[in-house]
């Protein structure tokens, strides 16, 4: 296993309908990299926290999304930070795809500090899927 730790940060607010699918997709990702999952909640009142605690011990109290991401970064122990939203399902291999893409691009240009990748909205969502590959 590569010696890189990854922190996956998921900001959320009242996401009981979608969070469990999101967390399952991240926790079952079978990554080559050690990873932790951090959920940063902005004051949910719908059972979101109970769902989050079933998948991770790091559930933080936060505020609006931009602050939640920063709060997650402060608590992260990983060498690499990955974000996804609580209404997304990440594809199999997502963590490896993000880290591998970042490392590959950083070797080519050491000013590269981030990459983006695909995720899929849950089936009941009306949003179209967003797909991209790291470095494209």
Confidence of residue 10 (pLDDT cuts 50, 70, 90): very high
- Domain of 75 in residue numbering reads as 5-87
Beta bridge pairs of residue 80: 6
The count of C-alpha atoms lying within 13 angstroms of the C-alpha of 19, restricted to the half-sphere facing its C-beta, is: 26
pLDDT of residue 132: 40
Domain count, the chain: 1
pLDDT of residue 128: 46
In a domain, 21, yes or no: yes
In a domain, 75, yes or no: yes
- Over residues 95-124, the mean pLDDT reads 81
pLDDT of residue 124: 64
In a domain, 70, yes or no: yes
In a domain, 66, yes or no: yes
The CATH number assigned to the domain holding 50 equals: 3.90.550.10
Distance of alpha carbon 88 from alpha carbon 56, whole angstroms: 17
In a domain, 131, yes or no: no
Q: What is the pLDDT of residues 120-130, one digit of tens each?
A: 666 665 544 44
Q: What is the pLDDT of residues 15-60, one digit of tens each?
A: 999 999 999 999 887 889 999 999 999 999 999 999 999 999 899 9
pLDDT of residue 26: 93
Q: How many distinct helices (H) and strands (E) make up the chain?
A: 4, 4
The count of C-alpha atoms lying within 13 angstroms of the C-alpha of 24, restricted to the half-sphere facing its C-beta, is: 6
Beta bridge pairs of residue 35: 6
pTM score of the predicted model: 0.82
Percent share of the chain, pLDDT over 70 = 82
Residues 90, 59: contact at Cβ < 8 Å? no
Distance of alpha carbon 59 from alpha carbon 47, whole angstroms: 13
């Amino acid at each position: 296993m590569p010696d890189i730790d990854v922190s996956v940060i998921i900001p959320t607010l009242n996401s009981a309908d979608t969070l469990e699918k999101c967390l399952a997709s991240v926790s079952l990702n079978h990554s080559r990299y050690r990873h932790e999952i951090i959920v940063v909640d902005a004051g949910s009142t719908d059972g979101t926290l109970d769902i989050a605690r079933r998948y991770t011990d790091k559930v933080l109290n936060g505020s609006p999304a931009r602050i939640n991401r920063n709060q997650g970064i402060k608590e992260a122990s990983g060498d690499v930070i990955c974000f996804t939203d609580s209404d997304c399902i990440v594809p199999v291999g997502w963590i490896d795809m993000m880290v591998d893409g970042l490392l590959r691009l950083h070797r080519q240009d050491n000013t590269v500090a981030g990459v983006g990748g695909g995720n899929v909205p849950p089936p009941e969502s009306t949003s179209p899927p967003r797909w991209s590959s790291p470095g494209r």
